Structure 1
Amino acid sequence: MKTPIYQIFGSENSLDVDLVFFVEKMPETIVEKLTLSKELSKSIVPVFPEKVINANLAVCKNGHLVEVYKGTTDELNNALFYTYRFHEQKQENRITKLLVRDINLKFLRSTRMLLSFMSKTEYRVLIKSALKGNLDEKIMALETIDLSKIASFGKGSKKEDILKSMAFQIAQTIALQKGKELYTKNQIADYFPDLKEYLFRNENVNFDHLKKWLSIFVEVLKTRILIMRNTSEYKYEDENYF
């Protein structure tokens, strides 16, 4: 297979390798996207022999992304642009144009992700129902959950990894609400120092700081929902002009 064109992004000290493969056309089905992602990842395993590759797919035109496999087009586009210099790259930065961030979409997606992170806990029945429900139901579920009462995040899930992911999403979303785009653990830790212990996967941490910021996230969302035109997730490119 011809060496695919890809670009690394994200934290400079990430334990894994987060990268995007640029494709001419996005496969139509989830299965086709997953299959292509796996095939392209296999072709570059020798380049990262000791790393787990977290691959994404994207279509890039005129210096910016127009479609992505995972995540949102605006966030991935800007993350590629801002974190390019943190990694050893094989090519010039494909992203030359930033996209206007859709803050409402970020809140919608982060809300779903936060619930999903806890979907194998004691709250799984509540969360399963909330994920099928509307945004008000998702908010109610987040308000009900007490992180300190969670004994396990499920078989095969490492608590430190889940807490890191939750802290990252909460902080990134709140910062975006304030007009600040953060794309690495170091950036977020500097902006939210009391979340550093979760971001760097410290062991035996308590939930106090994370509970505080989750509550803030919920309160900000409850205010923001009043100005949301759409409270269900959508594709960035369907609601925003490039």
Structure 2
Amino acid sequence: MIKKIQWSGGVGMKRHVLIVEDERSISSYVKKELMFEDYEVSTAFDGVEAIEKFESANPAVDVVLLDWMIPKIDGLGVLRRMKKIQPNTPIIFLTARDYVGDKVAGLDAGADDYITKPFEIEELLARLRLIFRKWSTERTTSYRVEHLFLDTTAHIVSINNETINLTQREYALLLFFMQHRGEAISRADLLDEVWGMNFDGQDNTVDAYVRYLRTKIDLSDQPSLIETVRGVGYRMR
């Protein structure tokens, strides 16, 4: 995000943390503490499982707690893969490797923070709050909804890190949906907000542009991001 995003969980939803840690006692302890703090938590115990869960997570992962020394693919390899899949998701290393060179390597590869084991859970919670607070104060220029990312500064839209081309009107309509995620919006309101109050077109203009957007932003094996709300209009889920 360019580090600026709308939470994948949306307003009122839990923030999703993925713990990648092969020591099950540590993983279980951290998971229990995070769930007590009202986070949604997923776990993975090796690098391959971590990448699979990161790619398929629904809701999308908001932050990853990543151990360096894990089986199959080590933490540094997982970090690099995750940053290619979704470069904007914060990743915090949890590791016993306290050498400066290791820390530098992790940060240079894209890690957002670094906590050395053993650590106090209060420190981890504080680091999470710091990351989320930073996102919240910068969230007005970019938005993410599941696999879809929109950056208003660069004026780009991407799906799983691949840029897609939208017309100016499609872009404006998508931006409005993303800014009002979870809200049912009438066709009349969409015409007023996106086309302008002086636009004298018909409501079916909105229907046509929603169809255009769906063909460009939806994945074939997943439900449409833009839902039809019977008797009202549309809503970005």
Per the normalisation by structure 2, the TM-score is 0.25
The structure with the largest alpha-carbon Rg is 2
Per the normalisation by structure 1, the TM-score is 0.25
Quick check: which one's strand share is greater? 2
Quick check: which one's helix share is greater? 1
